[in-house]
Structure 1
């Protein structure tokens, strides 16, 4: 039983005239008659009574017409669903997010994307560290990720969407807490609080590199698994820290965020990363939306 035979039968059943049905389907009348006969053979029943004066449905034809309409509607829905999916307008996208700043960027991006692709389901996969995001991308557990750059070369492609500044995080009673800026070299003798060294934190690496650039190695006396805990430990006067400016939104009592002076490059890039081999139209739509909503920063730009 073929869809073209069902279309031929429904056209004749609705027109009750082979000539009009043939014109409607842009078929020659003999070809239309042959398709209806073939359908009747497949079904095993006469569906249409034909005389020289009229065409009418048999009892079997009346019953079959209802099913034929249903099958053709489902076939059209299936075709439309495939086309919508191929255009990236339907499906699912697993998005990895990490860090306070990505949670600030994501709502803007998600609103724009959902306006354009309301039938795509965005599944958010939180992760504390960028290294976990990279592994999830490579393993195929997520499709795209917001993470701290740099992104390792290989199977992944990436684009920087923001350069965020690191700031000195000081206990509020620290001697430098009231200063408009802090030179990194002035923190050389301080105790530091930082992320756990074995968890692959791009922020920890950036902070250590900044200290190296200022001529010292930070003395880390306490490690913590996440940004909130790092800042809270600073508030408890365990030490100082270098954290992204977005961490200030946590509003933890007892800490002061102070810009870093002295010309040391203390920016941390935020990137959007994905598998370079992924040809999904859903991903392509997400990346195209991100190009407009989250364009790459210009040279020297950053968020403070």
Structure 2
């Protein structure tokens, strides 16, 4: 559901809920009235989910093209494996960035040490569409520890820059266009300014409640707030709050998104689907399962 607000706020989006086989996610992008914010074409939030002994998440191997995935956990752990032979545990505060480019296959599963005793999981995953000239770049994977990410602390603010540039800081995450993604935590009453250095900007509220100075309303968890270009945005925490701020320069070409594929050309997506249907993508070492192409894909 999407509704319009006033002045410097362009849209406020309430995510849809998707069931991924016993595991629900809240999908803020793409939405009915908004496909992208800057190069970001997809945003899922998940959790908090609690697992009993022997339980966990099993996202079996599946393919991607034409995008980068950025995974960030708030609690719990996931094990990443991909067709480039990367195996990486991701923990809270770290970044897993996977550039699919011409094509990659990966899985995400609850690690055995969590599955043994039970545990929990909360996090965010966004997809970043690659510029047309980079759509067929070679796939790569990058893991960044929490201590490798630029931070700002003080005056009730804790900001961690996950990718791109913001306020003169740059994340070491590999990017291909102008963008930013930052996790921001504010103590109650604290303020954070998001200036107009990036054309398109949005905030996804994870917890707590925020206000936008000069605007009506308070926004709680699971609200995606999209701002008008050029607006000077000051966020105030009505109570202790945590949110993801992201955006960047919009890509000039239209993007098509079907299942796990993103491209400027629908024929490229059909070709990728045919390759996956025929099991022509590379496999994931150590993980022989796979997610079939959806029945309605044609």
TM-score w.r.t. structure 2 length? 0.25
Higher strand share: 2
Bigger radius of gyration: 1
Higher helix share: 1
TM-score w.r.t. structure 1 length? 0.24
